[in-house]
Structure 1
Amino acid sequence: MSGFSQEELTWHTDMNKAFDIAVKENKPILMFFTGSDWCGWCKRLQNEVLTTSDFKKWAKDKVVLVELDFPRRTPQEESIKIQNYQLQSMFNVRGYPTIFFVDPEKTPEGKKNLKTLGSTGYVRGGAEKWLEVANKIVNVN
């Protein structure tokens, strides 16, 4: 198996699973609120940032990725729909694309908490400019 740079990132759709991984790996979660099959700015963010090798290299070590999709034509499991709308409401997301960085925390009682670190959306200038913003939010180098 060659081509290390061909490695694909895992975008989780199940927030609980992503939460557990993030806690175990001690990483923040990147939540990508998108309308994958209708939102033009979401597609631009995907093409200009999220599918680039710079982003992939950065994300692999820094964050656990979660895609929270709100498609208009693509069928979606009911449980995912419910989860996505709950998170959209919880984080007061009003437009797409929106990216929230959160720190997963377990309370002593075992409850799951998502501490907001910050948010961003589409940033002009490609992966380099977007990553500058992201690094300020997650506070990592």
Structure 2
Amino acid sequence: MKWWLIIILSLSIAFLGCEKTDKPTINEDGTKDNGKLESGGKNPKSKTGVWLTDWNDAMKTADVLNRPVFVDFTGSDWCIWCQKLEEEVFGKGEFLEYAKKNLVLLKVDFPRDIEQSEELQKFNEQKMKEYEIEGFPTIVLVNSKGEEIARTGYRPGGAKEYVKHLQELLQPKE
């Protein structure tokens, strides 16, 4: 009798306990998140306000969300101005809130002491040449096709002033 009970319980757990569900969760903004993009990837809302490192992922996310990509060409572990920009702007609430609602964040990093795959290093170098990056930090705002909208870099004044600067750069030209 005990063996039958163990077998029945085991089968019940196997069939009922491991059932895959497609129940949506609720995002912070109150929208439903079923974890999927229309194209079959992860929900782009989960990528807002988060620094991506995959170029293609950032472009797809920007396309779905209809937002520009904020590309930070940086030497994160050695470039003093890059570190200042990170500390004074990127790590502050004003910038993060703006970015979460308006941008897709992409970091194209050229570190000296942080390990990267050879593939990522080559890809980043190719993007650096493609966008004619001559120094760090360089911020390039691009559309989902990778077409440049505007370019900037470090600016003094903190996060609030930087957001104002970005808003001016992204205003439609007349």
Please tell me the TM-score bracket, short chain as reference.
0.7 to 0.9
Larger relative contact order (CA 8 Å, sep ≥ 6): 1
Which protein has the larger Cα radius of gyration, Structure 1 or Structure 2?
2
**How far is 1:139 from its partner?**
1.9
Q: Give the count of matched residue pairs.
A: 126
Q: Percent identity?
A: 35
Match of residue 18 from structure 1: 58
Greater mean alpha carbon deviation, residues 69-78 or residues 129-138: 129-138
Match of residue 117 from structure 2: 77
Match of residue 140 from structure 2: 100
Provide the rounded CA distance (Å) in 1 between the counterparts of 2:116 and 2:87: 22
Is 2:163 the partner of 1:131?
yes
Where does structure 2 lack aligned partners over 5 or more consecutive residues? 1-27, 29-47
Provide the rounded CA distance (Å) in 1 between the counterparts of 2:120 and 2:105: 15
Match of residue 120 from structure 1: 152
One-letter code of the match for 2:157?
G
| C-alpha RMSD over aligned residues | 1.5
Provide the rounded CA distance (Å) in 1 between the counterparts of 2:120 and 2:70: 17
Question: Following superposition, which runs of at least 4 residues in structure 1 exceed 3 angstroms of deviation?
Answer: none
Provide the rounded CA distance (Å) in 1 between the counterparts of 2:91 and 2:53: 17
One-letter code of the match for 1:40?
I
One-letter code of the match for 1:87?
K
Provide the rounded CA distance (Å) in 2 between the counterparts of 1:71 and 1:96: 11
Q: CA-to-partner distance for each residue in 1:4-56, whole Å, 9 max, x for gaps?
A: 8xxx9311110001111110111100000000110000000000000100000
Q: CA-to-partner distance for each residue in 1:71-119, whole Å, 9 max, x for gaps?
A: 01111012211121111111100100110000113xxxxxxxx111111
Equivalent residue of 2:147, what SS? strand
One-letter code of the match for 1:57?
E
TM-score for the superposition, normalised by structure 1: 0.85
8 Å Cα contact 2:140-2:151 kept in structure 1? yes
Is 2:57 the partner of 1:48?
no
TM-score for the superposition, normalised by structure 2: 0.69
Q: 1 or 2, which has the higher strand percentage?
A: 1
Equivalent residue of 2:164, what SS? helix
Provide the rounded CA distance (Å) in 1 between the counterparts of 2:64 and 2:148: 18
Where does structure 1 lack aligned partners over 5 or more consecutive residues? 106-113
8 Å Cα contact 2:49-2:104 kept in structure 1? no
